[in-house]
Amino acid sequence: MRRIAPRAVAVAALSVGLSIGISGLAYAASYHAISGTVYSGCSDSGPWYVSSTARTKDGTGPIMAQFSEINDGGLTFKLVNKFNVLIGNQQSWEPNETDVWRTLSSSVPHGTVFYTAFRSSVYECPDDQDEYEFRGTLFY
């Protein structure tokens, strides 16, 4: 029987470890740029606005958000599932609360499909705000 060199065993073990590590990374949450525009119209509907971008949670854990630009009326932000049921808690950011991280849900199972929904914290009809757009980062 052929003897296996210790170095070969070490290389094989390292390869297996790397493979596990890489496949583990595939399930790890990460940071994603987001942007949007709060509803500012005057119909009977609103002010909540649901994005049509479906997202899928990678790895079980929290979903958090922060914003580098916030619309003039302040931003109220939440996550909903495909049945429009709230996931976690909605959170609000004042216009000057840029780069403030808030947790939208502390534990969301891996593979959960969700949408973002948002509104201007101050919603009037008609209003005269200048900026309705926001930008930020979502961790999921």
Partner 1 sequence: MRRLRCILVASFVLIVVIPMSYFAVRYSRRPTFLLPEQVVAEYRAEAALLVLAPGWEWPVSPLAPVPDGTSIMYEEGWGKNQADFYWFCSWASRTVDLQLPADARQQALENVLSLQSKYFFTNGLSADSKAFYVRMLRNAADGDMDELRGYYELNCRQDT
Report the alpha-carbon distance of residue 140 to residue 21 in Å, rounded.
Answer: 19
CB of 75 to partner 1, least distance (A): 15
SS3 130: coil
Report the alpha-carbon distance of residue 75 to residue 92 in Å, rounded.
Answer: 6
Is 45 a binder of partner 1 (CB under 8 A)? yes
C-beta of residue 76 within 8 angstroms of C-beta of residue 140: no
Nearest to 101 by CA among 82, 84, 85, 77: 77
CB of 117 to partner 1, least distance (A): 7
**List 9, 25, 28, 37, residue binding partner 1 (CB under 8 A):** 37
CB nearer partner 1, residue 100 or residue 115: 115
C-beta of residue 124 within 8 angstroms of C-beta of residue 46: no
Give strand pairing partners of 135: 35, 69
Is 48 a binder of partner 1 (CB under 8 A)? yes
**List 18, 41, 99, 101, residue binding partner 1 (CB under 8 A):** 41
Touching partner 1, residues 95-134 (CB under 8 A): 109, 111-113, 115, 117
Is 42 a binder of partner 1 (CB under 8 A)? no
In the complex, which residues of this chain contact partner 1 (CB under 8 A)?
26, 30, 32, 36-37, 39, 41, 43-56, 58, 81-86, 109, 111-113, 115, 117
